[in-house]
């Protein structure tokens, strides 16, 4: 378990995965960036009787995978030359390549079942010595890895980057009950010295530390605004620059995080705390749920509380 981290794989190329891959590339670590790319025939291909295995279809799917992974997702690099360190790929076809990396970071949708299933697939290709971590905002590290072997769980922990990974210094490391404590210490040193982060060790409690507080703050602001009839702009004027947080106003933050992700993160505390008052405090208001249902997910979909220009 003393392998230095020279190569990484990031699984999930959304808001956070692309940002984490870019941060790793920026500090000189080559990384695979894998995500699901739906494999479906077009109407024209179906009419011609082609299958998914036909070379023309395979080529089109490969081209659209690269397009999805490199163009439609944000990848903030310090300099375009670093892009060469990121190798995008379709998760299904390239997962086996994680056998060659030193660190696998899971950054897919905030859903326990999806993460559990993915970890089981990762374990099939994983080699002992490789660190595996999750960027979950608050799902239990122990629950996520419950179906994995003890050996795998020794190498598994939460590494929770904040958005955007390039600028946010805080990183929470969350050991699970089986995680090797020496490995936690080495990852802490690595994240501080190589990635430039300020690491806080957190316990495996719902939403850990920062999101237990931050999610509550955002929800209470949203509720107050609804109750008292303030506008989005008024709330952001007060909770942003006026509070010395030029880029962290309430609704700008929700748009940046992604409204769907925010609802999942709030739901995680709602589902996992017993205290009725605390449960109530983490209940997402209907307005948020209806925006998500309409596909208004924030910056990533072009429409949230603000329209992306
Ligand atoms: P996102 O919605 O932008 O991206 C999620 C990605 O997961 C998508 O590219 C999607 O294709 C992929 N995905 C969905 N289902 C999948 C599956 N079954 N298998 C493989 N890939 C799948 O989400 P995000 O904001 O990047 O969040 C990813 C993780 O990071 C979540 O756990 C989230 O809680 C955490 N996180 C998010 C933020 C934030 O501000 N958005 C901050 C810190 C941590």
pLDDT in tens, 172-204: 999 999 999 999 999 999 999 999 999 999 999
pLDDT at 159: 98
- Indicate the top mutation candidate among 74, 91, 109 to test ligand 1's pocket, ranked by most ligand atoms within 8 A of CB: 109
Q: Where are the domains of the chain?
A: 8-201, 210-301
pLDDT at 124: 98
Mean pLDDT of 281-309: 92
| ipTM of the complex in this document | 0.98
Which position has the higher pLDDT, 280 or 64? 280
What spacing in Å lies between the alpha carbon of 138 and ligand 1's midpoint? Answer: 13
pLDDT at 56: 85
Q: Is 165 in the pocket of ligand 1 (CB under 6 A)?
A: no
- CA-CA-CA-CA dihedral for 184, 193, 127, 150, to nearest 10: 10
pLDDT at 151: 98
Q: Pick from 88-92, 137-141, 229-233 the range whose average pLDDT is largest.
A: 137-141
Give nearest CA residue, ligand 1 atom 39. Answer: 257
Q: With 70 as the cut, is the pLDDT of residue 66 above it?
A: no
Query: What CATH number belongs to 8-201?
Result: 3.40.50.720
What spacing in Å lies between the alpha carbon of 154 and ligand 1's midpoint? Answer: 24
Residue 191's alpha-carbon distances to 109, 156, 188, 197, 268, in angstroms, are: 23, 15, 5, 6, 26
Q: Please, what is the average pLDDT of the chain?
A: 91
What spacing in Å lies between the alpha carbon of 48 and ligand 1's midpoint? Answer: 36
Name the residue among 160, 156, 175, 165 with its Cα closest to residue 196.
165
Q: With 60 as the cut, is the pLDDT of residue 74 above it?
A: no
* Contact partners, residue 291, CB within 8 Å, separation at least 6: 259, 297, 304
Q: With 60 as the cut, is the pLDDT of residue 71 above it?
A: no
Which position has the higher pLDDT, 288 or 79? 288
Q: With 70 as the cut, is the pLDDT of residue 144 above it?
A: yes
pLDDT at 78: 62
What spacing in Å lies between the alpha carbon of 12 and ligand 1's midpoint? Answer: 6
* Token digits of residue 116: 């559990």
Q: What is the pLDDT of residues 3-42, one digit of tens each?
A: 899 999 999 988 899 899 989 998 999 999 999 877 788 8
Q: With 60 as the cut, is the pLDDT of residue 112 above it?
A: yes
Name the residue among 145, 147, 165, 164 with its Cα closest to residue 155.
145
Q: Is the peptide bond before 164 cis (omega within 30 degrees of 0)?
A: yes
Report the range of poorest mean pLDDT among 44-48, 135-139, 173-177, 262-266: 44-48
Domains 8-201 and 210-301 in one fold: no
Mean pLDDT of 61-90: 67
Please provide residue 174's backbone torsions phi and psi, each rounded to the nearest 5 degrees: -120, 105
pLDDT at 72: 41
User: Domain 210-301 classified CATH 1.10.1040.10?
Assistant: yes
What spacing in Å lies between the alpha carbon of 228 and ligand 1's midpoint? Answer: 33
Which position has the higher pLDDT, 158 or 60? 158
Q: With 50 as the cut, is the pLDDT of residue 73 above it?
A: no
Mean pLDDT of 145-166: 96
* Token digits of residue 197: 């982060």
Contacts 24+ apart (CB under 8 A), 291-297: 291/259, 292/259, 292/260, 292/263, 296/259, 297/258, 297/259, 297/260
Q: Is 18 in the pocket of ligand 1 (CB under 6 A)?
A: no
């Amino acid at each position: 378990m003393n392998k230095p981290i020279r190569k990484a794989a990031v699984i999930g190329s959304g808001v956070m995965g692309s940002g984490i891959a870019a941060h790793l590339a920026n500090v000189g670590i080559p990384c695979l960036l894998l995500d699901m790319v739906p494999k479906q025939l077009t109407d024209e291909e179906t009419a011609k009787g082609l299958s998914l295995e036909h070379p023309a279809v395979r080529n089109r799917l490969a081209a659209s995978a690269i397009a999805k992974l490199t163009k439609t997702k944000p990848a903030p690099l310090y300099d375009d030359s670093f892009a060469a360190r990121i190798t995008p790929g379709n998760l299904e076809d390239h997962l086996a390549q994680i056998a060659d990396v030193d660190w696998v970071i899971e950054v897919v949708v905030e859903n326990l079942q999806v993460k559990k299933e993915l970890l089981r697939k990762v374990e099939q290709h994983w080699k002992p010595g490789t660190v595996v971590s999750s960027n979950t905002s608050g799902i239990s590290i122990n629950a996520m890895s419950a179906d994995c072997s003890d050996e795998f769980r020794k190498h598994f922990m939460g590494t929770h980057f904040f958005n955007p990974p390039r600028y946010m210094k805080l990183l929470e490391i969350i050991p699970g009950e089986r995680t090797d404590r020496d490995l936690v210490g080495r990852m802490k040193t690595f994240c501080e010295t190589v990635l430039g982060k300020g690491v806080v060790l957190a316990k495996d409690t719902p939403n850990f530390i920062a999101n237990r507080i931050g999610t509550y703050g955002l929800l209470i602001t949203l509720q107050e605004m609804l109750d008292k009839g303030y506008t989005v702009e008024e709330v952001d004027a007060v909770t942003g620059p006026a509070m010395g947080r030029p880029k962290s106003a309430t609704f700008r933050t929700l748009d940046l995080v992604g409204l769907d992700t925010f609802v999942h993160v709030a739901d995680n505390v709602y589902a996992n705390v017993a205290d009725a008052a605390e449960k109530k405090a983490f209940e997402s208001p209907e307005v948020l749920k209806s925006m998500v249902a309409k596909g208004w997910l924030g910056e990533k979909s072009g429409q949230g509380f603000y329209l992306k220009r």
